[in-house]
Chain A
Amino acid sequence: MKTVRAGSKSNGGIHPAYCKQLAADKPVVALPLPALLAVSMAQHLGAPASPTVKKGDKVLRGQLIGEPAGFISAAVHAPTSGEVKAVDGVVTASGRVAPAVTIVPDGEDQLDPACRPPADLQALDAKQLIGMVADAGIVGMGGAGFPTHVKLSPPPNKTIDTLIVNGAECEPYLTADYRLMVESADAIKNGIEIIRKILGARSLRVAIEDNKPAAIKAMEKVMARLEGDVELVVLETEYPQGAEKQQIFSVTGREVPSGGLPMDVGVLVENVGTAAAIWEAVSNGMPLMDRITTVTGTSLKNPSNLKVRIGTPFSDLLSHCGGMPPDSCKLICGGPMMGLALGSQATAVSKTTSGLLLLSKKESVAFTSSACISCGRCVEACPMNLMPNELSQCLEAEDYESAESYDVLDCMECGCCAFVCPARRPLVQHMRSGKAEVAARVRERREKAEKAK
Chain B
Amino acid sequence: MKWLLKLFDAMRPMFDEKKGVFRLFTPIFETAENIFFYPADRTKAFPHVRDPLDLKRYMGTVIVAMFPCVAAAVYYFGPRVLAMILMSYVVGGIVEVSFAIIRKGEIHEGFFVTGMIFPLVLPPSTPLWVVGVGIFFGTFFGKEVFGGTGRNIFNPALVGRIFVTIAFPTIMTSGWDAPGAWRGVADAVATATPMALFKTQHVLTPWFDLLIGNTAGSIGETFHLGIILGGIYLIYAKVCDWRIPAFYLGSVVLFSALGSSVPALEAKVAPPLFQLLGGGLLFGAMFMATDPVTSPSTKVGKWLFGVFCGLLTVLIRSFSGYVEGVMFSIVIMNAFAPLIDHVVLAVKYKEARTG
Contacts and interface: CB of A to CB of B under 8 A. Distances in A.
Interface of A: 14, 16-17, 172, 258, 329-330, 332, 336-341, 357, 359, 361, 363-368, 370-377, 379, 387, 389-390, 405-407, 415, 418-424, 426, 428-429
B47 A428 contact: yes
A429 B241 CA distance: 26
A384 B225 CA distance: 39
Interface residues of chain A: helix, strand, loop or mixed (majority): loop
A54 B50 CA distance: 45
Interface in B3-45: 34, 38-39, 41-45
B104 interface: no
A371 B44 contact: no
A404 B238 CA distance: 30
A16 B49 contact: yes
B2 interface: no
B42 A365 contact: yes
A373 B55 contact: yes
B9 to A, nearest CB: 14
B49 A366 contact: no
27 contacts: A336-B47, A336-B49, A338-B47, A341-B45, A341-B48, A364-B42, A366-B38, A367-B43, A368-B106, A370-B150, A371-B108, A374-B292, A375-B58, A375-B292, A387-B345, A390-B297, A390-B345, A415-B47, A418-B46, A418-B50, A419-B47, A419-B49, A420-B51, A423-B55, A424-B43, A424-B54, A426-B45
A387 B346 CA distance: 12
A370 B292 CA distance: 14
Interface in B37-80: 38-39, 41-51, 53-55, 57-58
A364 B48 contact: yes
Contacts of B46: 332, 336-341, 415, 418, 428
A422 B47 contact: no
Nearest to A378: B297
Nearest to A332: B48
A387 B49 CA distance: 21
Interface in B301-355: 302, 341, 345, 349, 352
A173 B234 CA distance: 30
B293 interface: yes
Interface of B: 34, 38-39, 41-51, 53-55, 57-58, 106, 108, 110, 147-151, 238, 241, 292-293, 295-299, 302, 341, 345, 349, 352
B297 A371 contact: no
Contact of A420 (B53, B150, B298): B53
Contact of A359 (B48, B150, B241): B48
B148 A172 contact: no
A361 B38 CA distance: 11
Given A374-B297, A379-B297, A367 B41 contact: yes
Given A373-B149, A373-B292, A367 B42 contact: yes
B318 to A, nearest CB: 31
B47 A371 contact: no
A172 B292 CA distance: 30
B57 A422 contact: yes
A376 B300 CA distance: 12
B345 A371 contact: no
Identify the 4 closest CB pairs spanning chains A and B, nearest first: A371-B150, A415-B47, A366-B38, A367-B41
A406 B47 contact: no
A389 B38 contact: no
Given A368-B38, A368-B39, A371-B151, A377 B238 contact: yes
